[in-house]
Structure 1
Amino acid sequence: MAQTQIVGRRRWVIGFLLGAGILINYFDRVNISVAAPQLQQEFGLTPADLGLLFSAFFWSYAILQIPIGIVLDRFGVMTVSRIGAFLWGVASGIVAFATGFGFIFGARVLLGVAEAPAFPANSKATGYWFPRGERATATAIFDAAAKFSNVIGVPLVAVAVVTFGWRWGFGLTAILSFAYFVAYWLIYRDPSADTKLTREERDYIRKGGATPEGESEASPIGMLGYLLRNRKVWGLTIGFAAYGYSFYLFLTWLPGYLVSEMHMSIIKSAGYAAIPWLFATISDLVVGGWLIDHLLAKGYDDTKTRKTVLVGGMILGLAVFGATMTASPVWAIFWITIALSGLAAAAPVGWSIPSLIAPRGGTGTIGGVMNFFNNLMGAVAPVVTGFVVGATNSFSLAFLVAGVVLLIGIFSFVVVLGKIEPIPEPDALATAPAPA
């Protein structure tokens, strides 16, 4: 604490700014689910129409992950994130004034485009702003916001929809998005351009192993090709995609599981579903963030510490198997809470790794590749779960599939990723003398 007081707190202002952005990001994503019944009634939408509206966001969001990573590495965090934050508000505003299915569908596609930079940009920004010894906590702040949004976002939007109508559900998130755009415009700068960052704090960040600012000398396409040939990138990508499968399964199917499998009412299921997400938020911040940085400050090995939490969290995710062996909703939530809490502890470690292993100018590209495959799981997991549940009339096999996917991810993190250390610069590798 004394060190923090000496060097300043500007980096933590940036960290909480990034976390607020992700929180609003997820408000934008859940508003359509809350407003769906009123939308269906007003515009005469079929269940198939609603399915298209729910998925429209993920199409553009996932497809753009790799391109947006290249764009981030070319044009920088500040410019790309400013444009993105402004477009969040535009997308929600369009829906607030929509007159039919086409307007809503187009706006959701636009929202996917606008929010595509969010996680890769935050990963890149925390690399600039935080030394390695604080990277876990800084990453946990914005990653935990995604979990916490499930605790407060749905009730907040629901109050607006029930009280003022569905248009205000989108109007509220549009207002919040524009407010964040203004805050981001006024506050965020890269460390080298931030006039409020003291020289002492800048030196502390740099000497602590912050990611160097600047572009790579390699071309964007050259950098992408170079990274796609790297084993560490694929170890991280496959492992994080396995995490994403379970995350999106719970995000989309947990309420339905409690209603159909545990025979709860919708209201009761909403209360029960909030419990795992609340514990996941705490685990994300305390274990995936604070504990790692605390252990590193005590002198523990960087790679061993991060990978222990990363792999340990994924192993706890296997507690989903426990939910397949009970008919009690209390025990089901118990096992799911353990699983989600473990996965939540692993998530910020995963998001901190791009800035820890990337060569100069490659953090956004690695983050984009990682998040592309992660978000493919946002499409795959709900569909696979739906087919399995439809064929078996039970979630047991669906949870078993999630467990098997986690085992693949654990293998990838342990064996394929290797040591968490920077990948050599492309030009340095190319100019290195050939072995005898």
Structure 2
Amino acid sequence: MLTTHAEPTVGDFSAKQTDVRKYAWVVFALTVGLLLSDYMSRQVLNAVFPLLKATWHLSDTRLGSLSSVVALMVGVLTFPLSVLADRWGRVKSIALMAAMWSLATLGCALSTNYGEMLLARAFVGIGEAAYGSVGIAVVLSIFPARLRSTITGAFMAGGAFGSVLGMALGGAVAAHLGWRASFGAMAIMGIVLVVLYRIVVTEKRLAPLQPEGVGRQAQDIGMRTSLRALMKGLFSTRSVVCAYVGSGVHLLVPAAIWSWMPSFLNRYYGMATGKAAVTAAVFVLVTGVGMVVCGNLADRFSKHAVERKWSIAVAYCLICFVLLGIGLRMPAGPAQLVMIGAGMFFCAGAAGPSGAMVANLTPSSIHASAFATLTLANNLLGLAPAAVLTGIVADRIGLLGALQLVPFAPLVAAVVFLIGRRHYAVDLDRVNTLREEAAR
């Protein structure tokens, strides 16, 4: 039987406030806008690969390194930069990071050789490294806890939408004005958003949306938190570790399908490269929409029993396993694509509940660091290895056979979430007790 437990009060509104203020949604829109700019700057490179190859006579290895260097910088620097943001100030950190990746993208447009482009792309990665974790920490601090799955799912979906926009707009601009204009357009968009964000969003204006004293208290605590105390806060319970691991493992599915869907459509449906890319982008969009809808449903169904977030995450993983498992074994045709699309709708559905669980189980003063840990788990366990592991298996049993194994990842994630659910009630009560003691 489900036991009702109160959501954490830290980061929530006062009891007298029943509606989310309009300014909170403005902050959310601008923060997601910067996330779109983040992924557009990152993915525009893929749209101009053929042009760069022809211009500088680059090998595929060098082309790949221009993409990999961004992921490398993000993976290495996400955690330390997020810790610094908790100490220095999240709003200032966001503005600095966005300015860096925008100027670095402009540097890509001005590059005259491979070495300059590689250096510019490295700085794109440095700028983007901690944005996801710090941005979601800012947003969650001004919305009620009852909306955490919705907000987290919608925020993370921005990465999918930004990837599609970066490739689509970058390719369109490059076709008419050349590859340099593609990078320049992304840079200008980012710079405009940075200026707008810095004008509209300030710590002073965010403070009234937070519980009395929480914003200042969180910053003060974050500035004096020792590394040992930080590690204890990040990994204090079994359930929060399960949230990290389950989230990372279940994201192996979208990462693998996004990477290999154009090749799948080309090899098994005979689609031309351009048509295959456009069709594959539809599956990316379906995933993004699913993240938003699934996050909102998780909040709606867990209003009176927060343990349901875990059960809902398990349900999303199992639905994905079933739909994709069936779809990837069907004969080629429209019915197969529809079934795969249905599975992709749920393949990242647990992202919202996972983020909400992490927020509920960690102090608000280290939320940027907590989401950096979640980002690290997402990358190391799912996003980073997905494409290469699928490719290694595909070399041995074929691409279709490799893709048919991918749906087993959410099955593993479902088991991890079930373990987390088992410990969640006790862990949440303990964390809330510690928060109350710290607030006295």
For the pair 1:361 / 2:361, whether they are aligned, the reply is no
Match of 1:323 among 309, 322, 327: 327
1:266 Cα deviation after fit: 1.6
- Whether the aligned pair in 2 keeps the contact of 1:356 and 1:422 (CA below 8 Å) is no
Match of 1:80 in 2: 93
Q: TM-score, normalised by structure 1?
A: 0.87
Range with bigger deviation, 220-229 or 48-57: 220-229
1:212 Cα deviation after fit: 6.8
1:263 Cα deviation after fit: 2.2
Range with bigger deviation, 268-277 or 236-245: 268-277
For the pair 1:387 / 2:392, whether they are aligned, the reply is yes
Match of 1:245 in 2: 252
1:71 Cα deviation after fit: 1.6
Range with bigger deviation, 75-84 or 38-47: 75-84
* CA 1:82–1:374: 2 relative to 1, 3 Å: same
1:129 Cα deviation after fit: 0.6
Match of 1:408 in 2: 412
Match of 1:29 in 2: 42
Quote the Cα distance in structure 2 between the aligned partners of 1:169 and 1:265: 23
* CA 1:7–1:102: 2 relative to 1, 3 Å: closer
Match of 1:269 among 242, 254, 276: 276
Structure 2 residue runs of 5 or longer lacking an equivalent are: 1-15
Match of 1:19 among 32, 47, 64: 32
1:97 Cα deviation after fit: 0.6
Residue 424 of structure 1 aligns to a residue whose secondary structure is helix
- Whether the aligned pair in 2 keeps the contact of 1:320 and 1:339 (CA below 8 Å) is yes
Residue 358 of structure 1 aligns to a residue whose secondary structure is coil
* CA 1:135–1:288: 2 relative to 1, 3 Å: same
Deviations 1:45-64 (A, max 9, x none): 01111121121111110111
Residue 211 of structure 2 aligns to a residue whose secondary structure is helix
Quote the Cα distance in structure 1 between the aligned partners of 2:228 and 2:197: 29
Match of 1:234 in 2: 241
Quote the Cα distance in structure 2 between the aligned partners of 1:422 and 1:171: 50
What amino acid maps onto 2:266 in structure 1?
V
* CA 1:211–1:314: 2 relative to 1, 3 Å: farther
Match of 1:194 in 2: 205
Runs of 4+ in structure 1 deviating by more than 6 angstroms, as ranges, are 3-7, 209-212, 425-431
1:131 Cα deviation after fit: 0.7
What amino acid maps onto 1:388 in structure 2?
V
Match of 2:71 among 51, 58, 67: 58
Residue 111 of structure 2 aligns to a residue whose secondary structure is coil
1:424 Cα deviation after fit: 3.2
* CA 1:7–1:148: 2 relative to 1, 3 Å: closer
Quote the Cα distance in structure 2 between the aligned partners of 1:423 and 1:27: 41
Residue 397 of structure 1 aligns to a residue whose secondary structure is helix
* CA 1:399–1:380: 2 relative to 1, 3 Å: same
Match of 2:404 among 399, 404, 407: 399
Match of 1:292 in 2: 298
1:423 Cα deviation after fit: 6.2
What amino acid maps onto 2:272 in structure 1?
S
